[in-house]
Structure 1
Amino acid sequence: MNPLTVIWALIVLSTLFWGSNFNAAHALASDLPALTAAAERFALAVLVFLLFRLWAGKPESRLRWRDAGVLIPLGVLGVFGFNYAFFVALQTTSALNAALIMALSPLVSVLLSVVLLNARINRAQVAGIVLAFAGVTLVITGGHVSQLHVAVGDLWMLMACLVWSLYSVGAKRYAPQIPPMQFARWTVSIGAGVLIAAALLLETPLTTLQQVPMQTHGLLLYMAICGSVLAYVFWLKGVHAIGPDKAAIAFNLVPVFTLLVNLLLGTLPEAAQLAGLVMVLAGVLVFNGKLALLLPTRRRVQV
């Protein structure tokens, strides 16, 4: 098989895993409280990351003590903070709404970079951001923009998107020297520790986890292996092979896969969700300078 085909297959698989994460979290939201669900997911993910580390067997960069001052807050923010808000959100919003809101994260990261790091953006990028945010506004208001009624779950997902974007900007700004896999394993381990401690303190995970059906544990295992580890590993391989710019376009498939899983499960999207999906994807394409993909191609006529 063509190596480039394999790389693109891995990238698409990553977006499938991430997109189906929203469906899985929504399916188990009624069975488990947020901290317990997140704690089991990332306890399993840590084990998988450690197995990957043992399997690789290669020496890694030696971390410095000052790296802990970066890894700890980023682990708490990006793993604990994001996943608590994520699981709370999926208790009261739809999987597709959550995926569409999360599709804003690359654009929110850019806005945070402008505010916090003095990054610059051009007019086309501003137009893309406005279009994408308009699409999300259409989704979270159910098409009734003038009423400005937003569900609590959508607000939690907006918070999750903001937290993840802060985590992404922080990782780029303060941890560029740490190899990605090493960074992921440490932040996931730190975040998992905080999630487990918070669940034991605020919920009753040991009792609750014994009472839920095996299907719930299966969904969390899927989210841990596929949505937390394999998606990340496959994505890194793809980015390394073809570059972040090309891979970033494929990230737009995440809400598309959430929609496809919904359809397979018999859940039809609302008109506002479909319109919002088109606007968000178009906004991201405009932002990334891919406006030509949205325009019809003209055939050249030779005389």
Structure 2
Amino acid sequence: MRIFLGLLVTAVWGLSFSMIKIAQETFDPIFLLVLRFVLCLLPAVFFVRRPQVPLRHLAAYGFAFGVGQFGLLFFGIRAGLSPGLASVVLQLQVFFTILLSALFLNERMTRGQIAGLVLGFAGVVMVGGIAEGSVTIVGLALVICAAMSWGTANLIVKKMGHADPLALIVWSSPVPAAILLPCSLLVEGYASIESSVRGMDWTSFGALLFIAYPTTVIGYSVWNALLQRYEAGRVAPLTLLVPVFGLASSMLIFDEQITPPKAAACGLLILGLCVNQASVHRKRAPAARQVEETVS
């Protein structure tokens, strides 16, 4: 079930990168984020109770998740990194998540898991060497920082324990919305915001709804539930499949070319995930046998 849910979420997230690109053709990036989190808040806030966690933890998660991860990601795409490649680079969160969990939660990794992460990291490094107009230094740097913010948000989720995953998404949404709205007014201006609202069509509106509900409310609720239940080393690497779906959707929607270097990068990411998951199963097998021997 963990693998199935992880695959479903990664498929939705991969497609969301193309939806972001479509929505940004109408909305400025900061205002798009404001709309995203307003929709995450409404109407669910009237039906979902606030999670029983300290407000400072909720605010910290909202900032790392909404402002850090998504704000920097949107600007990275706007700065010239293609949606497909942005979905690859963002998976550096795997390494940040596992590193932070090892430092602050004492979660240990096997050699096989480390080998899988090294292969996945090699795939991300290959992206940085692609110079085809779909990669810019500024865009790449922004998305790497977004990955670091995602790793921080994952650590906050694990530190909060068993807070309701859906409530966590809904009730943390006011934080990025409140921070980003004045930023949008200051940077993008009221005239631009009004123009984007007037220029919204069914395509951009549909992309916005996809970004808000399947991607954020549902996708991150499932993701946070998995993080709460399993070690970071077992969950985080599942997102290495996001680039595969991201590149595939970018190819279908924007006719982005899947060149040999991009295909090789995806191959390394998938191989790294397979090695990591195989190591997890080998790690569980001796533990299961030990439990059975103890019981008998």
Give the Å deviation of 1:240.
9.6
Amino acid at match of 2:21: H
**Equivalenced residues, count:** 275
**Selected match of 1:134 from 104, 107, 122:** 122
Say which SS state the counterpart of residue 104 (structure 1) adopts: helix
Amino acid at match of 2:137: A
Q: Residue 20 in 1 paired to residue 11 in 2?
A: no
Amino acid at match of 2:262: Q
Contact 2:75 2:142 in 1 (8 A): yes
Contact 1:14 1:234 in 2 (8 A): yes
Q: 1: CA distance between counterparts of 2:230 and 2:105?
A: 27
Contact 1:86 1:160 in 2 (8 A): yes
Amino acid at match of 1:278: G
Q: Which residue of 2 aligns with 1:299?
A: none
Correspondences of 1:108-257 after superposition (within 5 Å): 108-142=96-130, 151-173=137-159, 175-205=160-190, 206-214=193-201, 215-233=203-221, 251-257=239-245
Give the Å deviation of 1:270.
1.9
Contact 2:112 2:279 in 1 (8 A): no
Amino acid at match of 1:193: A
- Cα distance per residue 1:59-92 (max 9 Å; x no partner): 77655xxx01211122112111211101101111
Q: 2: CA distance between counterparts of 1:240 and 1:73?
A: 17
Correspondences of 1:273-292 after superposition (within 5 Å): 273-290=262-279
**Which region of structure 1 is more displaced relative to structure 2, 116-125 or 130-139?**
116-125
Unaligned runs of 5+ in 2: 282-296
Change (3 A) 1:108 1:197: same
Percent identity, aligned pairs only, is 24
Q: 1: CA distance between counterparts of 2:149 and 2:229?
A: 28
Say which SS state the counterpart of residue 87 (structure 1) adopts: helix
Q: 1: CA distance between counterparts of 2:52 and 2:153?
A: 22
> TM-score, normalising length from structure 1?
0.77
**Selected match of 2:75 from 88, 91, 99:** 88
Q: Residue 41 in 1 paired to residue 30 in 2?
A: no
Say which SS state the counterpart of residue 176 (structure 1) adopts: coil
Q: 2: CA distance between counterparts of 1:123 and 1:243?
A: 16
Q: Which residue of 2 aligns with 1:297?
A: none
Unaligned runs of 5+ in 1: 54-58, 293-303
Contact 1:97 1:154 in 2 (8 A): no
> TM-score, normalising length from structure 2?
0.78
Change (3 A) 1:51 1:247: farther
